[in-house]
Chain A
Amino acid sequence: MTTITRRRGAVTAIAVMSVVALAACGGGGSEEGGSDEGSTDSPSREEERVADVTVGYSAGSLDAYLEAMFDRVEEELGVTVTPVVYPTYDDQLNQLPNQFAGQTAPDIILWDNAAPVAQYAAEGVIRPVDDLLADSDVDLSAFPQALVDGWTLDGGLYAVPSYLQNSAMIYNMDVLSEAGVEVPTTVAELGEAAQQVKDATGKAGIVVLENLFHLTQYVLAFGGGWDYGRSIDSPANVEAIQWLADLYATGAAASAQALGATWDGEAIAAGTAAMSDGGPWYIGFMAGSAPDVEYRMLPLPDVDGRGVVTTYGGGFSINAAAPDPKTAMDVIAVLTDATAQEAIVTMEVGFVPAMTEFAETYREATPEYAAFTDEVLASGRTLDYPLQTAEFGNALIAGFQGLVAGNGSTAQELLSDLQAQFGQ
């Protein structure tokens, strides 16, 4: 009887422990949330600084730079920065809505550009920072006004600029020389050059990483643009998309995938393509991966030969649900101060500092970037995607791939359909 009782007691204990363990697992999330809320509601909250702030960003060439800046934050503010690293920027954009919905989004978010911010601001999941600026060390006048304007929505500033980005056309001069082709100055010449490269070398004239940003560059080269959804099916846009699809049909243009590359830079570095739209991120990549390849980086040729660039930049936003927005702003102040801007140049992260003063320093230190003067960047176009950016991008790329695959549609039909779906 004792044995039976002991055995029954043991199995009952196992069952009870299992249920308790499960309850503990299930309750973990809410307990964490509860502690966060508790800290927010603490009476001494006004005087205290949170000890830990999370910063979300996508992995890439900024990794080492950001880690160094996070160390500075800890030294100067006594605040530990916990990085929330997304594998790619696309992953960041895909995961953030779920994180906001699950209240697990980082306190501070580093955007690569302002395009998606309108949707997040409209949803109220990121907060304007104007009220926090007065008590912070951030000096907005040190940044180009165009960059600050890019982060301003309905009179509210939603991010502090960190770095400047722009589009460019990258030319593998070795492949162009092999084909006997000069650097084109207009978009018409660009198409001809691509075909000549194909005919002379069998290599792709233009390589395209098929996503919204890259297709947009060719749309802008034709004088088009999305105008936040108001001009998706404009004649210039239709002409650009059809032009690119026609180049695909002859093999003068190809996707990065078709060339066995994961992105356009790999094809340019490997010499399997002559030209691609790109940006300053090529500078560090080419220096590291293909130091012997001669290349040039210039504004994209447009219809009248003046050249076109897209000017945009990365910036830090604050989660509307961040427990301590003041500390978050102090962290951003360190991440965007003069020391941080100078480090963008000295650490050779492949980006251009956002502050005007250090952008000039970068240009002097980087001969490859010489063509992108303040005037060129100041006249740059913005990324004017429709509000439903992710949905629009997916539909545009899938439609473009269908066009290239010969599904019987035309660029006009594709863009008219997208205008009906995503037009404002």
Chain B
Amino acid sequence: MMTTGSAASDARPGRASRAEAVGRWLRRGSVRETTTAWAMLTPAIVLLLWWFVAPIVQSAVLSFQEVSKFRFDERRFVGLDNYAHLFADDAFRRSLNITATFVLLVVPAQTVLAILVAAALQGVVRGRAALRTAYFVPYMTSTVAVTTIFMQLFVRGGPVSSTLARLGAPDVTWYADAGMALPFLVIVYVYMFVGLYIVIFIGGMESIPASLYEAATMDGAGIVRRFWHVTLPGLRPYAVFVVVAGIIQAIQVFDQAYVISGGTVLGSPAGATSTLVIFIYQQAFRLNDIGYGAAATVVLLVAVIVAGIVSRRVAPRGAE
């Protein structure tokens, strides 16, 4: 009993000190904030895992499987077969080439155009807000609507194609011609996205201190030199963002190419608009070869990650 009583009396102060320690721990502001932060973040994290991470993991798993066309539960592990088949597939290699060409045409075009239009808008005093909105509207408009309207403009005998034909362009329906379909896709895409980047560059230009322009003017710099030596260096971080985001967006081009192919096979005409995502959609959802489509999806994921890393690496220091 003595032992027990002694132990009990010894334990009481110990328990009390632990309780005090816990109380102190709970009262510590940083702990409370951390707990609160985690609790508030949990729904977002769960959603992120559910909607983004899980599908990526599932795609990666599927890429190593052959999945029955009619029964998803009938799957067979095939190792790297899908990838081996993929890189030996002329259609896939062609889709990579088309996507690379598309990115190389689109990203410089939309970046340069956006900077030039943003610079021009800087000089506009009256109606500036209306012009900004006008440039932004195509980005907010339905891709199907914009592409369909452009198809009417570029049909043989249409207003734009006829004008361009007089300037030496082929007199054809652009989106139905194997040689002109990709340029058509580039034009529609740049038209849709340039408004977004104009708004970003305008924001960037407004962040450049006016004193720099005043100093340059006092030093005798004209409009071109001010643009070259003040505006462009000031826009560098924004340009890096626009280029990186532009590459990532352009790699995933799909909607416009899908609309062009309406009524016939995807990638029409003759595979000229068979971008990487069109190829994936064709394999996974038209031909229902889920494993093969998943392998191409993993390649797309890697391409997007690599493009992002390379873009940031080659960006000038301090631009990020």
A residues with CB within 8 A of B: 4, 7-8, 11-12, 14-15, 18-19, 22, 26, 94, 97-98, 100-102, 120, 123, 125, 209-211, 255-260, 262-263, 390-391, 393-394, 397-398, 401-402, 404-405, 407
Contacts and interface: CB of A to CB of B under 8 A. Distances in A.
The interface residues of chain A, by DSSP majority, are classed as helix
A257 B267 contact: no
A381 B288 CA distance: 29
A91 to B, nearest CB: 10
A257 B287 contact: no
B88 to A, nearest CB: 14
Contacts of A14: 39-40, 43
Given A97-B69, A394-B287, A401-B270, A210 B36 contact: no
Q: Which 3 A-B pairs have the closest CB atoms?
A: A405-B178, A11-B39, A260-B155
A404 B270 contact: yes
A15 B288 CA distance: 38
B294 interface: no
Given A101-B72, A260-B155, 18 more contacts: A8-B32, A18-B43, A19-B42, A26-B50, A97-B69, A120-B70, A258-B172, A258-B173, A259-B155, A259-B156, A259-B173, A260-B152, A260-B157, A390-B286, A397-B265, A398-B267, A401-B178, A402-B270
B176 interface: yes
B133 to A, nearest CB: 31
B156 A258 contact: yes
Nearest to A125: B70
B99 interface: no
A204 to B, nearest CB: 10
A8 B33 CA distance: 10
A22 B45 CA distance: 12
Interface string B67-108: 011111000000000000000000000000000000000000
Contacts of A18: 42-43, 46-47
9 contacts: A14-B43, A19-B46, A22-B46, A94-B286, A101-B72, A211-B263, A257-B176, A260-B173, A405-B269
A97 B288 contact: yes
A98 B288 CA distance: 7
B268 A257 contact: yes
B138 interface: no
A260 B151 contact: yes
A97 B157 CA distance: 41
A399 to B, nearest CB: 9
Interface of B: 26, 32, 35-36, 39-40, 42-43, 46-47, 50, 68-72, 151-152, 155-158, 172-173, 175-179, 262-272, 282, 285-288
A11 B36 contact: yes
B43 to A, nearest CB: 4
Contacts of B157: 260
A260 B267 CA distance: 17
Contacts of B46: 18-19, 22
Nearest to B178: A405
Contact of A94 (B39, B50, B155, B285): B285
Contacts of A407: 270
Contacts of A257: 173, 175-176, 262-264, 268-269
A231 B239 CA distance: 58
B36 A398 contact: no
A230 to B, nearest CB: 22
Contact of A255 (B39, B152, B264): B264
B287 A391 contact: yes
A98 B268 CA distance: 24
Nearest to B177: A258
B39 A398 contact: no
B291 to A, nearest CB: 13
Contacts of B47: 18, 22
Given A4-B32, A22-B50, A404-B270, A256 B155 contact: no
Nearest to B155: A260
Nearest to B32: A4
